[in-house]
């Protein structure tokens, strides 16, 4: 068996769900995975930025790296799919990513890492192919996996293991999906992640913020009282005057913007939450 480190991003984030996923992944891969719960207000936005950051975290090492397996599960209940959104996979510099087919999650790696296509799977097609060739499943077990509510437990780790082992997993190749409203998102970014310091990590590079290149001021919409607030732009966090708010180039993405308060919390000052649109129309 090939032992590969596994990192899972999931919105099935309660202790019971995490324990079950950890046990199954460990049994399949021979090592305890890192399971990162996405339990905030906007798990898709957090997954998009975190996936980008995970893959970029393997850069600037100066030598060879161990290939990662990254599992991403965001489960929208929109009723569009018979049993949830499909799962897809792609590779990046030898790393394997298995993810729900979420345009918001995948668009970031497409735009910033050059990932152009994903391989979309159908649970029944894959499990039936496995049962007929390389896996020992009865017809009843196939049906149990196909119809489960918890596909990120019963299906996704199997799919990842079979791909690592080089099995001929059936899939349909598609371009990386483009999220609806992508143009509006560039004009008015969302808060993707709020870190433990209260810094608000945005979902676009700082250079794309209007006025950032000139180090001018950007008007932020405060959720605390609804008033527009002018926030100046700076190169780095240490350049922001102590106690004041500022836009800086942060540590996430490829120079993604952050709204910060030096020595304080931007999220608390402006009463912001994950997923909020940030800029004021004023």
Per-residue pLDDT tens digits for 44-95: 999 999 999 999 998 888 888 889 999 999 876 554 555 578 999 999 999 9
pLDDT of residue 78: 53
pLDDT of residue 183: 47
Domains and CATH numbers, the chain: 6-175 (3.40.50.10790), 183-270 (2.40.30.90)
pLDDT of residue 64: 83
Asked whether residue 26 carries a pLDDT value surpassing 70, the answer given is: yes
pLDDT in tens, 104-141: 999 999 999 999 999 999 999 999 999 989 999 999 99
pLDDT of residue 118: 97
pLDDT of residue 80: 55
Distance CA 45, CA 281 (A): 22
Asked whether residue 243 carries a pLDDT value surpassing 60, the answer given is: yes
pLDDT in tens, 150-190: 999 999 999 999 999 999 999 999 999 887 655 445 568 99
Residue partners of 50: CB distance under 8 A and separation at least 6: 9, 36, 38, 193
pLDDT of residue 63: 85
Closest-CA residue to 65 (of 42, 40, 38, 95): 95
Residue partners of 3: CB distance under 8 A and separation at least 6: 29, 30, 31
For the entire predicted model, the pTM comes to: 0.91
Q: How far is CA 55 from CA 49, 60, 68, 112, 152, in A?
A: 10, 12, 9, 11, 20
The pair of three-digit structure tokens given for residue 141, joined into one six-digit string? 């077990």
Asked whether residue 269 carries a pLDDT value surpassing 60, the answer given is: yes
Q: What percent of the chain has pLDDT over 70?
A: 93
Mean pLDDT of 250-269: 96
pLDDT in tens, 211-232: 898 899 999 988 888 788 999 9
The pair of three-digit structure tokens given for residue 194, joined into one six-digit string? 């709020």
């Amino acid at each position: 068996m090939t032992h590969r480190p596994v990192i899972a991003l999931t919105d099935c984030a309660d202790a019971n769900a995490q324990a079950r996923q950890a046990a199954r992944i460990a049994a399949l891969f021979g090592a305890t995975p890192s399971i990162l719960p996405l339990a905030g207000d906007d798990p898709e936005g957090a997954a998009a930025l975190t996936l980008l950051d995970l893959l970029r975290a393997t850069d600037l090492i100066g030598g060879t790296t161990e290939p990662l397996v990254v599992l991403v599960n965001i489960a929208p209940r929109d009723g569009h799919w018979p049993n949830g959104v499909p799962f897809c996979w792609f590779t990046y510099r030898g790393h394997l990513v298995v993810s729900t087919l979420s345009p918001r999650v995948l668009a970031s790696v497409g735009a910033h890492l050059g990932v152009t296509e994903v391989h979309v799977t159908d649970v029944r097609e894959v499990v039936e192919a496995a049962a007929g060739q390389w896996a020992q499943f009865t017809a009843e077990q196939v049906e149990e996996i196909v119809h489960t509510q918890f596909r990120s437990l019963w299906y996704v780790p199997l799919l990842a293991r079979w791909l690592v082992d080089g099995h001929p997993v059936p899939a349909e190749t598609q371009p990386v999906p483009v999220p609806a409203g992508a143009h509006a998102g560039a004009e008015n970014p969302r808060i993707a992640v709020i870190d433990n310091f209260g810094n608000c990590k945005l979902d676009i590079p700082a250079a794309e913020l209007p006025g950032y290149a000139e180090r001018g001021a950007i008007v932020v919409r405060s959720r605390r009282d609804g008033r527009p607030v002018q926030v100046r732009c700076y190169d780095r966090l240490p350049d922001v005057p102590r106690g004041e708010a500022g836009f800086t180039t942060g540590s996430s993405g490829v120079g993604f913007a952050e709204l910060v308060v030096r020595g304080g919390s931007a999220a608390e000052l402006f009463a912001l939450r994950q997923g909020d649109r940030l800029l004021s129309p004023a």
